[in-house]
Amino acid sequence: MTSEREGHGLSRGDETDRGSGLQPLTDATVQSWLADARADVLFEATSLNVNDGQPAITHIRAALDHGAHAITANKGPIVHAYRDLRDLAKARGKKFLFESTVMDGVPIFSLFEQMPAIHLQGFHGILNSTTNVILSEMETGLSFDEALKKAQSLGIAETDATHDIDGWDAAVKTAALITVLMDVPIRLEEISREGIRDLTSQALRNAKRDGWPFKLVCRAKRVGDRVEASVAPEKVLASSPMGKITGTSSYIYFETDIFPGLAVTEENPGLYATAYGMLADLVRATQRHRDA
């Protein structure tokens, strides 16, 4: 977390007991730090906690209570506390922004802010680059373990890539899009989820040879007053937009009541993309605050 005004920071390593006997940060502790830093904006970039979105939710709530804008790249708070944090930001006259949570810094959420009265009916796409890289490498003949190690050596996959491999990261992104853009809160357990762990190199090579490569596909569709969603490996036509997504690229296709098909493709983003998303949110927050 970083304050815009003075540049004081509190790293992830400050939050937990690293053998020093320190206790995890409380809401009061974070508020005390924000007051000392005289923060106008807080950037929240802690790691994803799939279970409950903490400690990011505590950090963001403390920032808004303090009177600072809150900007995050962490998907957890969107899935577990979006409406509460949104309403708190509105009550405090501040902004709670999170453009970097899905497709790095591509303006997905802000795109829909520019389309009033649009109703999103559903979407599908490829939102996890780690699995995309692993599948691409396995298509060349590498085993799952070899492909994972290569992705880790390239800095694409984390040391513990469980969230990516088992579809959790894609499911959280899917839930975030549903919660915000479709205005339907959804729990992670309501999303049918299957990862890529059981796919074999032979199956992947055969599928690619036949013109129907495997991709880890996220889907959501409005059904009455609820949304049905899934994350699972699917065979897609090689010549289709999803079939052409390789490496660290991402793709999403929106179905709305006005625009039957609206697609966004992100081609092999660099490490700066997520940082750009947070910078763009900073500009949006401060510009809107000045205009208010």
Phi-psi region of 155 (alpha: psi -120 to 50; beta: other; left: phi over 0): left
- Residue 235: burial class (beta carbons within 10 Å; 0-12, 13-18, 19+): middle
Token pair of 100 as six digits = 């970097």
Is 150 part of the annotated catalytic residue set? Answer: no
- Residue 247: burial class (beta carbons within 10 Å; 0-12, 13-18, 19+): middle
Active-site residue (options: 173, 208, 215, 244): 173
State how far the Cα of 45 lies from the Cα of 249, in Å rounded to an integer: 22
Cα distance from N-terminal residue to C-terminal residue, the chain: 26
Token pair of 156 as six digits = 């694409």
DSSP secondary-structure letter at 104? T
Provide long-range contacts, Cβ within 8 A and 24+ apart, for 3-11. Answer: 3/34, 3/37, 3/38, 3/39, 3/40, 3/41, 3/42, 3/68, 4/39, 4/40, 4/41, 4/43, 4/282, 5/37, 5/38, 5/39, 5/40, 6/37, 6/38, 6/39, 8/33, 8/36, 8/37, 8/39
Q: Give 120's contacts (C-beta < 8 A, 6+ positions apart).
A: 112, 181, 182, 222, 254, 255, 256
Residues with catalytic annotation? Answer: 173
